[in-house]
Amino acid sequence: MAVNTGLAQLSEGLWAAATGMYMLAVVCYTGEYAFGRKGKVASTSPVGRPAMASVSTSVGAGPTTSPTAGGGWSVGAGRIETSRPSGDRWGVLALVLTILGGLIHLSCLVIRGVAVDRVPWGNMYEFTLVVGLIAVVSWLALLIKLPSLRYLGLFVMLPVLLVMFLAGTLYTKATKLVPALQSYWLAIHVSSVATAEGILMVSAAMTILFLIRSRYERVVALSAVSELSAGDGASGAGGSVAVQPDLGRIARLGARLPGSDSLDKAAYRTVAFAFPIYTAGVIFGAIWAEAAWGRYWGWDPKETWAFIAWVIYAMYLHARATAGWKGSRAGYINLLGFAALTFNFFVVNIVISGLHSYAGLN
């Protein structure tokens, strides 16, 4: 059966439409992050921002930070507004655009598969599209479990948008598969790996946010200790001391993020869900290799880096089960695993030649 060029062109148009939807979604997520209620609550809560304003330590007078009856927080006589319904509407619109973009994205892949009469992940262009779609679905699934994280969609959908642009640079014309890939194992093995990598991309984004928030919380905690020490010394003299934490540019982003525990939990759950899928994908690949090349494992560059990534993620899950390696150190292991996946995808597929050189690039 020949390739249906009309459907192939329609698929390309749907790729452009999905990319446009994701761009609009990123804009709306940015609006909710900047103006929405969640971002404001995170940046003005007593836990997230205890020392961002001057603190008076004089006895019997001075402005204090305390909750108000309306649920907001006041600094001195002023009130910090924590309810921004207009900003929250940005988040609802962003979610709608994400769902619409995901449906168009799915249609792009389905029509591509119909056009070539095979599964639509036979080259790097198609594989990249699948990974991006899985990341979107994973994000939406995460919101079902943790809807309070919606305003962080900017940090998830921006990488997805970059993946969509990357797919454009890796574009390959719709063609039939080379004989080596004409096997039912392509549908099983590659779909498992693509699903796992899409989920792990969401986990990497959550981990980066977790590390930023953890840094922010550490700086704020140290500032609070310094504030108490300075207050004890100043109260005897009847003076006041203004204390402000020394935040770096990146750590300042932590003021608008939810607690590190929530972000850490989201990152861990996604890895725990994706790891068995990735493990199955590696095993399926070994079975396919035995059928195609007469051996289960030959330390081909693709196989080697897939195994390296598997070991790193196994170390991450083990680190989470070990009390001494929770928190930031485990987070860095998670990012190292995603770096290994990224290296395997780009460098091994494009630069290093091997038995898995089926990128479809000229």
pLDDT digits (tens, 9 = 90+) for 223-281: 777 767 666 555 555 554 444 555 566 667 788 888 888 899 899 999 999 999 999 99
Q: How are strands ordered across the β-sheet holding 73-75?
A: 65-67, 73-75, 78-80
Question: Given this model, what pLDDT does residue 223 score?
Answer: 75
Angle of CA points 245, 251, 252, to nearest 5°: 70
Question: Percent of the chain at pLDDT above 90?
Answer: 45
362 three-class SS: coil
Report, as an integer, the average pLDDT of 341-353: 82
* Strand ranges (E), the chain: 65-67, 73-75, 78-80
Spatial separation of the C-alpha atoms in residues 263 and 207, rounded to whole Å: 7
pLDDT single digits (tens) 157-179: 999 999 999 999 988 888 887 77
Angle of CA points 122, 197, 175, to nearest 5°: 10
Looking at the predicted structure, is the pLDDT value of residue 304 above 60?
yes
Looking at the predicted structure, is the pLDDT value of residue 342 above 50?
yes
- The structure tokens listed for 60 are 């019997």
Q: Which of 28-42, 193-207, 295-309, 322-336 has the lowest mean pLDDT?
A: 28-42
108 three-class SS: helix
Neighbours of 120 (CB within 10 A): 21
Spatial separation of the C-alpha atoms in residues 67 and 28, rounded to whole Å: 30
Question: Given this model, what pLDDT does residue 106 score?
Answer: 97
Looking at the predicted structure, is the pLDDT value of residue 94 above 50?
yes
Report, as an integer, the average pLDDT of 10-27: 96
Q: Which of 31-35, 54-58, 264-268 has the lowest mean pLDDT?
A: 54-58
- Closest-CA residue to 340 (of 304, 301, 308): 308
Q: Do residues 180 and 355 touch, judged by C-beta distance below 8 A?
A: no
- The structure tokens listed for 259 are 């607690």
- The structure tokens listed for 76 are 């001195």
pLDDT single digits (tens) 313-336: 999 998 888 766 778 889 999 999
Report, as an integer, the average pLDDT of 28-46: 70
What average pLDDT does the chain have?
Answer: 80
pLDDT band at 186 (very low <50, low <70, confident <90, very high): confident
Question: Given this model, what pLDDT does residue 227 score?
Answer: 64
**What is the value of pTM for the model shown?**
0.79
- The structure tokens listed for 120 are 């639509």
- Closest-CA residue to 148 (of 62, 258, 45, 231): 258
319 φ, ψ to 5°?
-65, -35
Sign of the dihedral through C-alpha 12, 16, 19, 25: negative
**Which residue in this structure is represented by tokens 């390959």?**
172
Q: Which of 147-156, 186-195, 261-270, 318-327 has the lowest mean pLDDT?
A: 318-327
